[in-house]
Amino acid sequence: MQPSNNLIFYDTETTGLIKDFAQILQCGSIQANRNLEIQDEQNLGCAPLPWAIPHPMAMVTNKKTHLFNSNVSHYEMMRDLNRQWRQWTIDEPGVFITFNGMAYDEELVRRQFYWNLFESYLTNTNGNSRLDLLLMMNNVAAFSPDLLNIPLYDGGPAISLKQADLAEANGIEIGDAHDAIADCKLMIALLEIINKKKPELLDFFLAISSKAGVQEAVQKTGFLGLGEVFRREVFRYPVVPCGSKAPNDLMFFDLSFDPQEIFDLDTQEIYSMVQKPGKSGPFKKYGINKTIPICPSSMIDDKNAFDMDFAELEDRAQQIRENIDFQSLVSQAMADKINNWNNEYDHIEQMIYAGGFPSNEDKDLMADFHRIDSAEERIKISRNITDERHRLFAERLICQFYPQAAPEDMMSRYQSLITQRLNEEGPWGSMSKVMTELDKLLDQDNSSETQVILEETKEFLTQRSISID
């Protein structure tokens, strides 16, 4: 598969770590080509939402307290981000690249497009795909450690894959740490080192950023090297695909186990292993729609990477690939696993994956909502949205932008939301606990910069509390 020539690096700075409720304050994006030459960039910031509670340690880390006074709303920032990303991907689909984005940044962006009535899945629809550089670094640390200086943690043997530590170990000037644009440039700099020494590895990772790319890669003969870093320790697994579950689950078999011994187990034993895969067992499950830290065995230079020679591993891989009955059994075990996913939520922010996709009619109404800047028309549109989640998000936007024109019932729900979030403890956190932590942090021996950030955060939160009394 031909690697993309349209790479979009992005990073976020936020009010906290609770994915369903933390708000993006800054999003930096850089568009580059396959040669990692920068083509364009966008740097956006916004004020906290009226009900947001910025966590003091998040603010100490990102240093974005100046955004407390921003005139740019969260909606405007997400609108401009949506426009730019769509513009960058008109002519050619893009690979959206993050560092730990699968676990954090990607989830935040999805949610905040959702809050603002935009399509949540922009980064992996219409040919676009996603690559998590942190997971790529897992594979590099496992099988290509000579490509980068992998820093040790506290003198080793544990390693660190933190961006700042990787930058320092590889002589990369990081500039303003924990700034979204600076972190994008750091990602590019890391890939430049890899690309100079082993461009075929970068091409492979870009290729498997999509479902189609993963499917093509795992169907090839031979085995794959799966690299994981767990609790700062590197793990190396020789694997081959052995089953799947639509739409996204893929199961690998660890070839350090003898396939014949697993084939001889009874059905229930195999079922149990498949449904409870662990680090010590023969099965490892990954999402085909997420970055999988694999590489072809042909790209593993160290032929002593595993406890057996490659010829034996190739033979075991062939046994798995030829045993169609075993693959069917594994796939069936994956399909039969009891789904304990709880779709009962109290707050619409938590329902991005629980309520299904919006209808075509609602999609049209939300498009009209963005197109028409009129309180009267937007109120009419919101009343006609059938999905309660999106209708309530529309109401929040109307109340923010048109407080004088908003109907009484909308304003009542809006004011109740703000009062609840700022006065009550919930899954979003607790104002009282944050203020207590702030006071403790202020009493510590801080640097002058940290002290200023904490004082500015306290002043902001204090004023926010006063405003609803």
How is 329-372 classified by DSSP, letter by letter? HHHHHHHHS--------SSGGGGTTTS-PPPHHHHHHHHHHHH-
* pLDDT at site 339: 52
* pLDDT at site 171: 94
* pLDDT at site 338: 55
Q: How many CB atoms lie within 10 A of CB 141?
A: 21
What is the DSSP code string of 100-155?
Answer: STTTTHHHHHHHHHHHTTS-TTGGGSTT-EEEEHHHHHHHHHHH-TTSS--PBSTT
* pLDDT at site 469: 55
Look up residue 361 and give its two tokens: 């009619």
The segments of the chain whose pLDDT lies below 50 read 340-341
* pLDDT at site 73: 98
**Integer Cα distance of 461 and 466 in angstroms:** 9
* pLDDT at site 343: 58
Using alpha carbons only, what angle is made at residue 115 by residues 432 and 55, rounded to the nearest 5 degrees? Answer: 25
* pLDDT at site 275: 87
Q: Tell me the pairing of strands 249-254 and 233-245.
A: antiparallel
pLDDT tens digit sequence for 431-455: 999 999 999 999 998 899 999 999 9
Residue 238: alpha-carbon gap to chain centroid? 26
**How long a stretch of residues is the chain?**
469
CA distances from 242 to 252, 312, 324, 325 (A): 5, 18, 9, 10
Look up residue 231 and give its two tokens: 């609790």
* pLDDT at site 336: 84
**What is the sign, positive or negative, of the torsion defined by CA atoms of 381, 384, 387, 393?**
positive
* pLDDT at site 9: 98
* pLDDT at site 354: 86
**Integer Cα distance of 108 and 96 in angstroms:** 14
* pLDDT at site 3: 72
Q: What are residue 283's phi and psi, to 5 degrees?
A: -115, 140
Contact 408, 399 (CB under 8 A): no
pLDDT tens digit sequence for 327-374: 999 999 998 865 544 556 889 999 999 888 999 999 999 999 999 999
**Integer Cα distance of 419 and 422 in angstroms:** 5
pTM (two decimals): 0.94
Bridge partners (DSSP) of residue 239 are 224, 254
**Integer Cα distance of 254 and 263 in angstroms:** 13
Look up residue 266 and give its two tokens: 């009874």
